[in-house]
Structure 1
């Protein structure tokens, strides 16, 4: 995180986020969240789900941009719904899409945002913006207009803005969508440094982002939490239960009637299916080491029941 000597913000101990029975229905009738409950500790936390699962609705609610219909959200001892200004003072938010002034330089615009954040002392502000631009690897491009930045550079600038004021809660919503592989690696390396003193929520539909970064996660779909787990524990709990078979596409319907197929993808012109089963499903299937993608698809297809919802590292042999 940013060196605390460059800011006049008082350092507060890290605190967790508690979400209890949060629901949200939009005016068009869409039930975006249904009794969502989560306990999010300090550190990197992944919120994983397909597009339209309710991730952005939950992020916008946590960012005080909208209110839930019911439920409670607490950041430490701060009530997110009732104490919006207190939350905003300690919040960093990088939405899925955000605008920049294309003719402004990164240094100019970050300085402007720092003023809005309440960093009024010019010396402190200069030290703060320099530290953030260096942390996000933008210092050498600080005088370049933002209109000439690549997608990844703009995302890193968004993180610099989100980090102003040393937030206790940092929300990043679908941050790697659209980034090329090199920019994605640089961006993930940056995010990995940010979870020491804050709650950092990574909302994404990209399984690899959560696998690489997060020590805790939840899987959400259709506004409901399907699984809350530590990624390593969730993967270990599937040992011996994932099987694969290379088949032809026309055989999929028959296989789907006989087995719990969790995923299917093309491989060398044929279809590779993964099946969830406690025992070998049938001749022709071979066991495969599970990964977080298997956990994700098992949850989405209903293979992980309520008894599997809370998985702790100490419950399995890692």
Structure 2
């Protein structure tokens, strides 16, 4: 089963163009949708989850028309939004059982077996009787995944799942997601480049409602070989460098500024080549350094 998104657009009443002719082909496995806050990621996720209508376009999940067969989509959909509410005074066991009933698991024995399996899968079995109000951020996210997995969905959408998690919780959560991607389509919507780099075999970069790049992370990084240069400089020299070169990123390092520049050849004295990573791909896309020819080359590499 594949998810096909064709020419999807959405403009809100306040005039914001959240999506503009978005087209993607998403195969089974982990798929990263990467972009800054306000890029249109959550709008696309809510549309896929049948929570809002686009102005135009077509969405197909296998042979299911997402826009016209919403009930069929919801039967095979798991959705973990960026923010979701829980009843803080209810235990995780009570609330997951309640959601299982809503999902149609009316047989008590089957429901108990299903919820037990999900608690074990999300590593919450020992905490199942704890009140949700006492759960940490990572535990709440894993509980959200347990709810999303009710009914063995073929499409799982997780929107900004690691935002606010501490490093240990983030690792546990990403390990859980990597296991889920083996059996279904899992769309990971995030602004955190490392999440996509560590988990996803395919990805797209989105900004201001438009898809800037669709490729495999490995192929996208490989296509930048020989095109990323760095220089360690003083902060006051940054404006001049930005005028002279295509600076894609600048960050502090030991009190100085580390600049990455996109260029087909050495930009000048003081620059050294650097092995690119997905962060360089991301910033190259956002700053407009990836032209149509480079995007096409990346797409071809991703298909190999």
- Sort the TM-score into its range (normalised by shorter chain): over 0.9
Aligned to 1:19: 5
Check whether the contact 2:214–2:299 (CA below 8 A) recurs between aligned residues.
no
Tell which deviates more after alignment, 92-101 or 301-310.
Answer: 301-310
Runs of 5+ unmatched residues, structure 1: 1-14
TM superposition score normalised by structure 1: 0.94
1:92 alignment counterpart:
78
**Does 1:222 find its partner at 2:186?**
no
**Structure 1 residues 310 and 228: alpha-carbon distance in aligned structure 2, compared to 1, 3 A threshold:** farther
Cα shift at 1:313: 8.1
2:258 to 266, 269, 272: 272
Which of residues 63, 73, 94 in structure 2 aligns to 1:108? 94
Pick from 108, 120, 129: which aligns with 1:122? 108
Query: Could you tell me whether the CA contact under 8 Å between 1:113 and 1:161 is conserved in 2?
Result: yes
| Deviation at residue 308 of structure 1 after TM alignment | 2.4
Q: Give TM-score, length-normalised by structure 2.
A: 0.98
> Are residues 1:158 and 2:144 paired?
yes
| DSSP 3-state at the match of 2:250 | strand
Q: Is 1:300 aligned to 2:302, yes or no?
A: no
Structure 1 segments, 4+ long, off by >3 Å, are 310-316
Distance 1:311 1:145, change over 3 A: farther
Q: Is the 8 A contact 1:21 1:37 kept in 2?
A: yes
Q: Alignment partner for residue 247 of structure 2, among 243, 246, 261?
A: 261
Distance in 1, matches of 2:279 and 2:181, equals 23
> d(CA) in 1 for partners of 2:108 and 2:153?
20
Number of aligned residue pairs: 303
Q: Does 1:32 align with 2:4?
A: no
Structure 2 distance, partners of 1:295, 1:264, is 14
The answer as to whether partners of 1:229 and 1:310 remain within 8 angstroms in 2 is no
Q: What does residue 173 of structure 1 align with?
A: 159
Structure 1: distance between partners of 2:3 and 2:297? 19
The answer to whether residue 65 in structure 2 is matched with residue 79 in structure 1 is yes
Paired residues of 2:21 and 2:210 also in contact (CA < 8 A): yes
Within 5 Å, give how 1:47-86 maps onto structure 2: 47-86=33-72
Q: Does the 8 Å CA contact 1:24/1:68 hold for their aligned counterparts?
A: yes
2:252 is equivalent to residue 252 of structure 1:
no
RMSD of Structure 2 on Structure 1 (CA): 1.2
